[in-house]
Amino acid sequence: MRAPTRRYAYVADGSAIYVDSFATIRREARLDGVPADAEKLAVRMIHGSGQTDLVDDLVIHPGVVAAARSALMLGAPVLADARMVATGITAGRLPAGNEVCCFLTDPRVAALASAWGTTRTAAAVSLWEPLLAGAVVAIGNAPTALFHLLEMLVDGAPRPAAIVGCPVGFIGAAESKQALASFGADHGIDIPFVTVHGRRGGSAMASSAVNALAQEEE
């Protein structure tokens, strides 16, 4: 095999791209309103979305970084709503060989979704329950999954250590994230979280957040 003839001027060194990307984010994004221990979290979420104005819509619970990092160091699993979220989490950043779980393809899911009149992604969240206590949750795809999780918690399900709630879309995404942001005030259940107001979100954003929470090093 041979490399194609270089016809465009672009940076091709992976390390330089990595360093320059984060430098560009810090130069262009307004990070002064972000909690000090959450700056790298915000930067990685911006990196995962390519949008420096994302910082204006971020909602970061003051305890989310410490809670998620401590849980992961103690071996807590990461519970993901979609395979794309799970795949985007860098195993090498997880401090304790943490298991990353997604139950969307579990054979029980289709029947549960049909019986409950909901999406498969939401039904799969109920299969998290045995693992939910002290876990780190990462939702980047389905608003129904986030709504379902919050309903489980109100009903008395075990509480995770932290929730990354960044579902994307036009139907229910903004509303589900607003429900997460006001969950503590509405129900008296204070679970550390990070979310982003509005329709923006997605698997890359959610997995980027977990990668930032997993360790301090950028």
Q: Which residues are catalytic?
A: 47
Question: DSSP for 113-138?
Answer: HHHHTS-HHHHHHHTTGGG-TT-EEE
* Residues forming a β-bridge with 139: 165
Q: What gap in Å lies between CA 89 and CA 94, rounded to an integer?
A: 8
Q: What gap in Å lies between CA 169 and CA 166, rounded to an integer?
A: 10
CB of 24 closer than 8 Å to CB of 30 = no
Q: What gap in Å lies between CA 60 and CA 87, rounded to an integer?
A: 24
Q: What gap in Å lies between CA 40 and CA 69, rounded to an integer?
A: 13
CB of 192 closer than 8 Å to CB of 64 = yes
Beta 162-165 vs 193-196: how paired, if at all? Answer: parallel
* Residues forming a β-bridge with 149: none
